[in-house]
């Protein structure tokens, strides 16, 4: 079976093909998940060379552990979880703080309001292309100032479109905790935008 056909296989069939000794199937798995792996490692790790090393380590772990995958989540989610854990190990080894302790906030109306406005800012089709590019650039720089966990959650939720449950599977955090951390991440992002760019619309 060629690579074009491989792309249409389900997670189970891809895993079965890899375990049966078809390396092109694992190449397909890499192609299907490399964006997610890059997003997580890019947000959690600052050094480009270390990011590349982590990506290689992630796929080596995934390949070696593939026989233990039980399909309780999507294959991409499982590989995302491996990526997150590998990045966590890197941060711990280098004594980099993932997130500083803070008060948990759960105001659902405030959360939904910030969520809606941030989505609108990121995807408002009525803005000119130039203005949208400027806003995107400003948001990207502001997100980079967040703590590693906040950067990761913002990216997984708003860029990759993952649900609270999917993010929770990757990070091994309860959905409620993911929601709380996202609230704090957006609040921190708003403070950065207000402080640096005088933007307080979020």
pLDDT the model gives residue 192: 80
Is residue 98 included in any domain, yes or no? no
pLDDT at 36 over 60: yes
Q: What is the distance between the alpha carbons of residues 169 and 128, in angstroms, rounded to a whole number?
A: 37
Supply 32's token pair: 């299907």
Average pLDDT over residues 10-14: 92
Looking at the structure, do residues 87 and 120 belong to the same domain, yes or no?
A: no
Q: How many domains does the chain have?
A: 2
pLDDT at 88 over 90: yes
Looking at the structure, do residues 76 and 125 belong to the same domain, yes or no?
A: no
Looking at the structure, do residues 49 and 89 belong to the same domain, yes or no?
A: yes
Looking at the structure, do residues 44 and 118 belong to the same domain, yes or no?
A: no
CATH code for position 38? 1.10.1740.10
From 41, 64, 93, the end of a domain falls on 93
Looking at every residue in the chain, the average pLDDT score rounds to 81
pLDDT at 80 over 90: yes
From 69, 93, 117, the end of a domain falls on 93
Model confidence at 146, in pLDDT bands (50, 70, 90)?
confident
Model confidence at 2, in pLDDT bands (50, 70, 90)?
very low
| 90-137 pLDDT, tens digit each | 999 988 878 766 544 444 544 455 455 555 554 544 444 444 556 667
pTM here is 0.74
Average pLDDT over residues 5-26: 84
pLDDT the model gives residue 199: 55
Looking at the structure, do residues 154 and 188 belong to the same domain, yes or no?
A: yes
Phi-psi region of 71 (alpha: psi -120 to 50; beta: other; left: phi over 0): left
From 25, 60, 93, the end of a domain falls on 93
pLDDT the model gives residue 12: 92
Is residue 99 included in any domain, yes or no? no
Domain containing 24 equals: 3-93
Residue 27: other Cβ atoms inside 10 A: 13
Lowest mean pLDDT among 43-47, 58-62, 134-138, 187-191: 134-138
Is residue 202 included in any domain, yes or no? no
| In the chain, % of residues over pLDDT 90 | 53
Looking at the structure, do residues 138 and 180 belong to the same domain, yes or no?
A: yes
CB of 178 within 8 A of CB of 164? yes
């Amino acid at each position: 079976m060629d690579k074009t056909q491989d792309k249409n296989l389900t997670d189970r069939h891809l895993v079965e093909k890899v375990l049966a000794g078809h390396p092109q199937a694992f190449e397909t798995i890499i192609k299907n998940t490399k964006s997610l792996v890059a997003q997580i490692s890019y947000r959690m790790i600052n050094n480009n060379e270390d990011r590349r090393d982590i990506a290689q380590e992630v796929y080596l772990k995934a390949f070696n552990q593939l026989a233990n995958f039980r399909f309780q989540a999507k294959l991409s989610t499982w590989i995302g979880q491996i990526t997150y854990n590998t990045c966590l190990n890197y941060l711990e080894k280098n004594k980099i703080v993932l997130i500083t302790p803070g008060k948990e906030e759960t105001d659902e109306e405030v959360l939904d309001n910030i969520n809606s406005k941030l989505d609108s800012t990121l995807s408002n089709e009525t803005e000119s292309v130039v203005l949208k590019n400027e806003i995107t650039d400003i948001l990207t720089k502001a997100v980079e100032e967040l703590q590693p966990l906040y950067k990761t959650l913002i990216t997984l939720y708003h860029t990759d479109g993952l649900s609270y449950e999917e993010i929770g599977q990757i990070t091994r955090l309860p959905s409620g905790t993911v929601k709380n951390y996202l609230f704090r991440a957006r609040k921190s992002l708003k403070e950065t935008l207000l402080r640096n760019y005088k933007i307080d619309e979020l």
